[in-house]
Amino acid sequence: MPEKENAKNTGMIAGIIGGAVALIAIIVVVIIIIANNSGNIVGKYTIDSMTEGGTTIDAEKIKEYYGDEEWSIEFKDDNKCVMKGIGGRSEVECTYDKDKKKITAEGDDTDFTVDGDKITIKMDSSTSMTFKKK
């Protein structure tokens, strides 16, 4: 009888160890996926809101004031970006530095911040625009 109990315990221990190894492998894969996507801003963002002088207006109000022109920014893999409709311009090519949080367009640098699926671009000391990833 003791041999059967030892075999049973050995099988149970092997099962627990196998399950723990599988769980650790899953956790490692999830961490790698999150780390690779962390800070990945590549994609297209459309206007979500604009703040000027302490007053914030949402995308619907922006459309009322400025018309249906698309206001967006698209970040590409090669550190290039395209802004549309911002500042009355139809389309402006730009570059960005994800680490320094800077966009350069027409020789001017602009700071930006990332918060989840939103990017806020500081236009000047009292104006910022927030874009949401599509």
Contact 103, 95 (CB under 8 A): yes
pTM above 0.85, yes or no: no
pLDDT of 72-120, one tens digit each?
Answer: 999 999 999 999 987 666 789 999 999 999 999 989 999 999 999 999 9
7-33 pLDDT, tens digit per residue, is 666 766 665 665 544 445 444 433 444
Q: How far apart are the first and last CA of the chain?
A: 65
Residue type, 40: N
Q: What pLDDT does residue 25 have?
A: 44
In this structure, the chain runs to a length of 134
Query: Which residues, 6 or more positions from 120, have their beta carbon under 8 angstroms from its beta carbon?
Result: 112, 113, 128, 129, 130, 131
The answer to whether the CB of 56 falls within 8 A of the CB of 43 is no
Tell me what pLDDT residue 98 has: 93
- Is it true that domain 43-133 has CATH number 2.40.128.270? yes
